[in-house]
A and B are shown apart, each in its own frame.
Chain A
Amino acid sequence: MRSPAQLILLLVVLSDLAVLGTTRLSSCIRVLAAQGLLLGLLPVLLAPHLTVHAVSLGLGTVVVKAVVLPWFLAWAIREAAVRREIEPLVGFIASQLLGALALALAFAIAARLPLPTPQQPLLVPVSLATLMIGFLVLTTRRKALTQVVGYLILENGIYLFGLTQTESVPFLIELGVLLAVFVGVFIMGIVVFHINREFDSLDSTRLTELSD
């Protein structure tokens, strides 16, 4: 273990794999909240010295990704009364294997990317892996709420990639991105709620069927 930041990045990957392996939506959301907390710690640990910029970015991330969004998703589950992802398009075992494959791919790609060497060598591969695993969850699960979880993991991957550039990205833009994600998930939550009221189910494949 060379640094705490490295440990946190490893835990982020483990939480990705955990989301791929859980059927229960509430534990998915709990893992997502833990991931948000880890992501909030990262800007503080990665900054060479404590700056207001890094601390406020970390705090904002924790508040949005570890408290508000998980709480909102938990509310949506309660309202919609969905508990489990029953039959994803790609089974749980296959999706875990695909996750491991995505991990290998991410490390292979990151080694070939012509990026200026970041201070934390694991940051780029972990961000790519998180991105791909998020995409996997987003595309292969049936329940609209799990798809929202996948979208958030995808966004976490983008956030991790953005951390390589924390020095040069203005604070306002990052806050803007956080706000956009928050509003996006808020709208998704409301849509999910209405899907559930119309169709009595959150199975997104039913949305392609015609009904009068």
Chain B
Amino acid sequence: MTWEEVAALGILALTAPAVPGIAVKTKSFLTGRRGAPVLQLYFDLWKLLRKGTVYSRTTTWVFRAAPIVVLASLIAAALFLPLDGRAAPVGFAGDLVAFAGLLALGRFALVLAGMDTGSSFEGMGASREVTIATFAEPTLFLCFIALVLATGDVSLGGMLGAPLAAAWPGAGASLSLVGVSLFVLLLAENSRTPVDDPATHLELTMIHEVIVLDHSGPDLALILYGSALKLALFGVLVVSVFVPRAALAGPVALAVLFGGLGAVAVAVGVVESVMARLRLSRVPQLLVGAAALALFGIILQLH
């Protein structure tokens, strides 16, 4: 791991909470409101970190472990991504499975913590989260398969790195389909609007928010930071597919990456202001549509 890679990870870790902030600001701007400041999540995190934690008597260590597991799994997953577009800090053949597995581990810990509270609301949220994940995960793997076919590399650092730029002229159509599919996944995995409404706090309708109802103080801060980091990770995936940065100098590549992250956040905000939340029974259809796009990308490669 070079100091440049450490610096890139550090910048990603520092800027992650601004990503949902930009999405919220875009949404407010488009709907004619002033909206919360872009840095609101930083203030929230700071406030939560200074508070005490309240634990329900029904919860066990599972509940206390969840925030740490969630954040740790996401940071570990971030190590597999080539932030400068050339090489990832950690990488081996087939690490894309490890990446998906780490994301799943974080979700598993969170869902268990939700069930651990014994609250029926959180159980409902957990069941919804898992239902959506069942559709989202195969789609993620289909996207990865298309990328592997395009670049001939089976590690995330390789297939999002230099070989990707070489693959664009030949497989551009397929790669843009994969990019769109990944963007839909980003919306679904991070509980953004067509799948879940991040602005709602009504227990019956929300998915992600409801699982963390019982977390408080620093625990909640870790979880909120974790979900911002997850959004940023998926943003990095989308940006990396659309803008291969292997040919750019290190600092320029990073600038392009973070500019791209901002653009993805704006796109999320635009989607949130033009679409209503989908009925829960229609969510799988959206994800199957994304899977069909990725499949189409694969078929185009095999053609």
Contact = CB atoms under 8 A, between A and B. Distances in A.
Interface of A: 1, 6-7, 10, 13-14, 17, 21, 92-93, 96-97, 99-100, 103-104, 107, 111, 121-122, 125
Interface of B: 172-173, 177, 284-285, 288-289, 291-293, 295-296, 299-300, 302-303
Given A6-B173, A10-B300, A103-B292, 12 more contacts: A7-B173, A17-B289, A21-B285, A93-B284, A96-B288, A97-B288, A103-B295, A103-B296, A107-B302, A121-B303, A122-B303, A125-B303
A17 B292 contact: yes
A92 B303 contact: no
A96 B173 contact: no
Nearest to B135: A93
Given A1-B173, A10-B173, A21-B285, A96 B299 contact: no
Describe B's contact surface by its main secondary structure.
helix
A104 B289 CA distance: 15
B214 to A, nearest CB: 33
A100 B173 contact: no
A96 B289 contact: yes
A21 B282 CA distance: 10
Contacts of B291: 100
Contacts of B285: 21, 92-93, 96
Nearest to A13: B296
Given A1-B173, A107-B302, A100 B284 contact: no
A125 B173 CA distance: 15
A27 B296 CA distance: 22
Contacts of B296: 13-14, 17, 100, 103
